[in-house]
Amino acid sequence: MDKRFASVHYAHYLQLDKILNAQHLRSGEVGEPAHDELLFIIVHQVYELWFKQIIHDLESIMEILRRPIVSEEALGRVVSRLRRIEVILDLMISQITLLETMTALDFLEFRNYLLPASGFQSFQFRKIEVLLGLDPSQRITYQGKDYKESFTEEQQQELRRLEQSPSLWDCVERWLERTPFLEFADFRFLQAYKEAAKRMIEEEREAILQASAIDEEQKQIRLQMLEQMEQYFSLVLSEEGHRRMVEQGRWRLSYKATLAALFIHLYRDEPMLQMPYRLLASLVEIDERLTLWRYRHAQMVRRMIGKKIGTGGSSGYDYLIQTVERHTIFLDFANLTTLMIPRSALPPLPPALKKALNYHFYAIKDGGVSA
Q: Three-class SS of residue 180?
A: coil
DSSP state of 4: G
Q: Is pLDDT of 369 > 50?
A: no
Query: How many whole angstroms separate alpha carbon 281 and alpha carbon 36?
Result: 39
166-193 confidence digits (pLDDT tens): 999 999 999 999 998 899 988 999 999 9
Domains of the chain: 10-165+268-340 (1.20.58.480)
Cα–Cα dist 276/241, whole Å: 26
The answer for residues whose C-beta is within 8 angstroms of residue 272's C-beta and 6 or more apart is 72, 356, 357, 358, 359
Q: Rounded to two decimals, what is the model's pTM?
A: 0.90
Q: Give the number of other CB atoms < 10 A from CB of residue 117.
A: 13
Give the model confidence (pLDDT) of 47-98 as tens digits. 999 999 999 999 999 999 999 999 999 999 999 999 999 999 999 999 999 9
